[in-house]
């Protein structure tokens, strides 16, 4: 075939493709899932609240971006909810209280990363929270904001969220301050299991007992590890918030605070390396 004729045919094919309407994205159907068994009633939670949650999440997940947009437009929606956490609420995923705490007195805008795979745009979310929950008061502040977001999307969870908040705050009150990091991890472990409440509830005492012995008891298998993990988490959060270089560190007198305690970065303003200030820079 002549090359000119072939190129004309190819061009015509491209035009025909442009005239075709875009194909609709196929939605996942439960009956097509490998685990689906129409005769197995035990696959659904017996709890009425959990069943309501599953129905709502199915609706939200048909259009997450649209649902999130409508939630933000509603005048009754709680203000200050991070965009990434709105998405977790609507997906029924465990929330990150660090991001809620960071949003309470936020003076800058967190940029969400995005990438593309073909024609699909994927949000990478905000990478790091500016602040980490490390005290009982910080947990309470972050939790009350998070609970308002969940209750807005799923009003039937309101009483459960209130009771769970009271339960964790009672644990804080009954423990020495030095044990509060373990209470925070105790809460994280519970919420990671419960997620959005599709199968079980935050107030399920069997889940509380499961993690109470492992995390809060002095002889628990995760008691020592949980404290060190929380300490590392706090350090990484603190270091992540250090955006400016320390001016005192770059003078001849140096900074009176250590690198770990100072809220600014102890690096050289000249070569941008750690270990020395500008006055002692070898370059």
Query: In the numeric block, which tokens belong to residue 80?
Result: 């200050």
pLDDT tens for each residue of 52-74: 999 999 999 999 999 999 999 99
Which has more confidence, 37 or 150?
150
Sign of CA dihedral 218, 221, 222, 225: positive
- Separation of alpha carbons 190 and 203, rounded Å: 9
Query: Of the given ranges (101-110, 158-167, 213-222), which has the lowest mean pLDDT?
Result: 101-110
Among candidates 45, 53, 111, which has minimal Cα distance to 83? Answer: 111
pLDDT at 141 (0 to 100): 95
Who contacts 260 (Cβ-Cβ below 8 Å, separation ≥6)? Answer: 235
Query: In the numeric block, which tokens belong to residue 140?
Result: 């309470």
Q: Are strands 120-125 and 113-117 parallel, antiparallel or unpaired?
A: antiparallel
- Separation of alpha carbons 71 and 85, rounded Å: 12
pLDDT tens for each residue of 242-272: 557 787 778 777 776 777 667 778 888 888 7
pLDDT at 159 (0 to 100): 96
- Mean of the per-residue pLDDT values of the chain: 78
Mean pLDDT confidence for 131-142 = 93
Greatest extent of the chain over all pairs of C-alpha atoms, in Å: 86
- Separation of alpha carbons 108 and 111, rounded Å: 9
Question: Per-residue confidence at 105, pLDDT binned at 50, 70, 90?
Answer: confident
Which has more confidence, 236 or 91?
91
Query: In the numeric block, which tokens belong to residue 62?
Result: 């048909």
């Amino acid at each position: 075939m002549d090359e000119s004729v072939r190129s004309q045919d190819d061009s015509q094919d491209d035009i025909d493709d442009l005239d075709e309407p875009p194909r609709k994205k196929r939605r996942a159907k439960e009956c097509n899932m490998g685990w689906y068994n129409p005769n197995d009633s035990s696959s659904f939670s017996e709890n009425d609240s959990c069943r309501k949650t599953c129905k709502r999440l199915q609706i939200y997940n048909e259009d997450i971006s649209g649902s999130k947009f409508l939630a933000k437009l509603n005048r009754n929606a709680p203000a200050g909810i991070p965009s990434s956490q709105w998405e977790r609420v609507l997906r029924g995923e465990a929330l990150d209280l660090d991001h809620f705490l960071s949003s309470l007195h936020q003076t800058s805008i967190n940029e969400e990363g995005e990438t593309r795979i073909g024609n699909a745009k994927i949000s990478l979310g905000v990478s790091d929270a500016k602040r980490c929950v490390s005290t009982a008061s910080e947990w309470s502040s972050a939790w009350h904001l998070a609970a308002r977001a969940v209750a807005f999307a799923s009003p039937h969870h309101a009483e459960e969220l209130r009771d769970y908040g009271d339960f964790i705050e009672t644990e804080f009150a009954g423990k020495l301050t030095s044990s509060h990091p373990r209470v925070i991890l105790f809460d994280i472990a519970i919420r990671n299991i419960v997620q959005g409440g599709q199968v079980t509830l935050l107030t399920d005492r069997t889940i509380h007992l499961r993690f109470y012995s492992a995390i809060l008891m002095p002889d628990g298998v995760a008691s020592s590890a949980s404290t060190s993990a929380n300490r590392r988490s706090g350090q990484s959060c603190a270091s992540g918030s250090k955006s400016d270089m320390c001016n005192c560190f770059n003078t001849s007198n140096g900074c009176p605070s250590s690198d770990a305690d100072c809220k600014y970065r102890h690096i050289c303003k000249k070569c941008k390396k750690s270990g020395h200030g500008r006055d002692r820079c070898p370059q």
